[in-house]
Chain A
Amino acid sequence: MAFSRREFLALLGGTAMAGTPLWKAGNSSEGKAWSLADFTQNIQSGGPPKDGIPPIDRPKYVSAAEADKFLRSNDIVFGLAYQGVVKAYPQKILVWHEIVNDEFKDEKIAVTYCPLTGSAVAFGGRSRDGAMLTFGTSGKLVNSNLLMYDRQTDSQWPQILGVAIDGKYKGIVLEEIPLAWTHWSRWRQRHPDTLALSADTGYFRSYGTDPYGSYDKPGTYYDSGGPLFAVMAKDGRFNPKEVVVGVKANGRQMAIHKQTLRAKKLVNTSLAGRPLVAVYDSELDLVRVFVRQLKQKPTNFRFEHGRMADDLTGSLWTTEGRSIDGKMSGSHLKQHASFDVMWFVWYAVFPATQVVK
């Protein structure tokens, strides 16, 4: 988990107030940060009415063996290992629903996916006042990105921003929980005990078809052209649909070019004073971000033979952040939430973002 709940509450008091910039630019030479009012002024209709794209409110799950009947090895799934439970959410189901209001033990988790911006984000569903939130699709978009609403207060939350832009919870930041964007065969191999979201969703949709295109075939919406809806800012450093790993900390943001990290394997960086390391997991084809701090001291990591090694103790670590050899053996790095997202929308939402190429 990226932050404790207490850390999030501390964040709220500092930066997430209505009418003031949510995040200050990390670099003065880059763009300005938007206010909440800027986002509300740029809401657009996506076509469907509220919950016209129906969230899954009573998700059912099947075993991995059962899921093999309808999932192909290269199908994209969003994997979540949380509180000892492992689940996979197939993209081919979520493309028709965009939100799963799920429960892990006693905690509500919203697994969200916006096909227009290629972003899958899991949010903790607890609000500042302790209420458990569930989310619906508003039928609207901001920067071509899913605009959720909570069913308890009708506050509106752009998915990538993760902050309510109006309503009772205006300015509140949702807690992000790391979600793995990977392929079914890779996830199943890593987590043989995984459950998979069933197609018995309570709705009939043509699961298996994708109205936007295909992640298997080049030349569709997912890798070609620009956004379908207007965005608040544009930038030409990358192709609009290029995948970056989005990271947020203390009101600042960073985009890590995923293709570059596939080649480099590991990058030591920092964001808003927080020392971070981004590492590529080739087995799952995903990037994880950890706080690169051991015994309260920042340290650099290097990549050696598929493992990470820290400079402070020389211990070896898996790309999942678990130490397997050396002085730190058995300990875990603190994972920092991050998610894959198309470059055009990350920049549109966070024009002051840092960029790691």
Chain B
Amino acid sequence: MRTNAFSSTIKLSLHQLTDCLSDRVVRRVGLWTGIAFLLLYLYSVGNIVIAPGVDLAFGRPIPTASVVSDWAAKMWKPISPFVWEPIVAFYPIRSVALFISVPNVLMALLLGSLVGVNTAVAIARARLLRGASTRGKFVSGFLTPLPALFTGVSCCVPTVVLVLGSFAATFTVGAITVSRFLLPVAIVVLTGNLFFCVRKATCALPRLN
């Protein structure tokens, strides 16, 4: 009985989601938002590095790519909560480095997909309802992925704390404590927000004249 109810809930949600994504504009916005978030996430965990004026290739000829020694052993080695060791490096120009970590890319794909779909649904519903009452839900589609961007840790300190500067010292211990929960929270909130949105209302768009 309970299994049937769950199954029909999933079916309904997927059906609603399909409705939401049926619009080409909405799909495109969702896709590009997802890609932008994926790149932003990889930047935040230090896998995309842009440093004008710095020779990241360290004197090597460019473009160049290399695979780390013992890559199989290092592939799943965590360097901070939910961030893993890169095993491939690519230097297209001196001031840009792309580091590839398989788990980080998988994580970025998962998060990017969730962000993209959430955004698409939020826009679809906003276009459908166009009412002030929907503003909160629309905004939530964009705010929910933010915790994931705080996952990046450089050496001993979360990047965000270093970006904020030394005045953030008071919050450092708190930031370290919560950092390990940020990514799971982001995934749960994004998934929950998506189901909540698609279940609550249809995305079947009115015909626009």
Contact = CB atoms under 8 A, between A and B. Distances in A.
> A and B, one complex?
yes
Interface of A: 44-49, 52-54, 66, 69-70, 95-96, 98, 115-116, 141, 146, 199, 202-204, 206-209, 211-213, 221, 224-230
Nearest to A53: B155
B162 A221 contact: yes
B123 interface: no
Nearest to B100: A204
Given A208-B58, A221-B166, A228-B157, A52 B172 contact: no
Interface string B29-59: 0000000000000000010010100111011
Nearest to A46: B156
Contact of A206 (B49, B70, B80, B172): B49
Nearest to B153: A47
A226 B170 CA distance: 10
B35 to A, nearest CB: 22
Contacts of B168: 228
Interface residues of chain B: helix, strand, loop or mixed (majority): mixed
B157 A70 contact: no
Interface in B158-201: 158-159, 161-162, 165-169, 172-173, 176-177, 179
A116 B155 CA distance: 10
Interface size class of B (residues with CB under 8 A): 35 or more
Most B C-beta atoms less than 10 A away, residue of A47, A203, A221, A227:
A47
A202 B68 CA distance: 6
Nearest to A240: B166
A230 B153 CA distance: 19
A116 B176 CA distance: 15
Contacts of B153: 47-48, 52
Contacts of A212: 154-155, 157, 162
B58 A199 contact: yes
B176 A45 contact: yes
